[in-house]
Structure 1
């Protein structure tokens, strides 16, 4: 049993009782959230497609921790001009656990 959901404008394949890393969610650690933007749901080989979302299914998740990812380097250069700029940042992620799929 799995689903394809929209979290922060990105699509993730989720399975019950598994952990995934998603872009930072501005909620407290330990808080439980309902996701209602489910694109696809599969249970025992039967697919349910939304148009664009499935209205009958919600996903309950729990936020476990907030972490920083690996550093991403941005290097800009214009040849023969002496222009070089090196910047970097570490993106924020949230580790979430999928608790259950809720049917209305």
Structure 2
């Protein structure tokens, strides 16, 4: 057995795209899938940028707001998940803070297993 940590202390500060958050990388598969844990602090933001590959954001704790290429924000909270297609512009922000798992891969398709909100 091996025990691992992925809490905030194991993460790296991300500043690209005018962002301010901590991300702990979790794993990468042979299918070029990347999974990470994001910690947005109070008033944190994942800046507006294009998805390099399809991205799936699973809100684990807290609440925040997400948007695509429109200026309209949608509230998300624990238990919500957001999917962005490759090249889709998007942003995530939180006034109170949130923790989320992010999955990035060319091969993900959440609609195979999940129903829309």
* Structure ID, larger Rg: 1
TM-score range, shorter chain: under 0.3
Structure with the larger helix share: 2
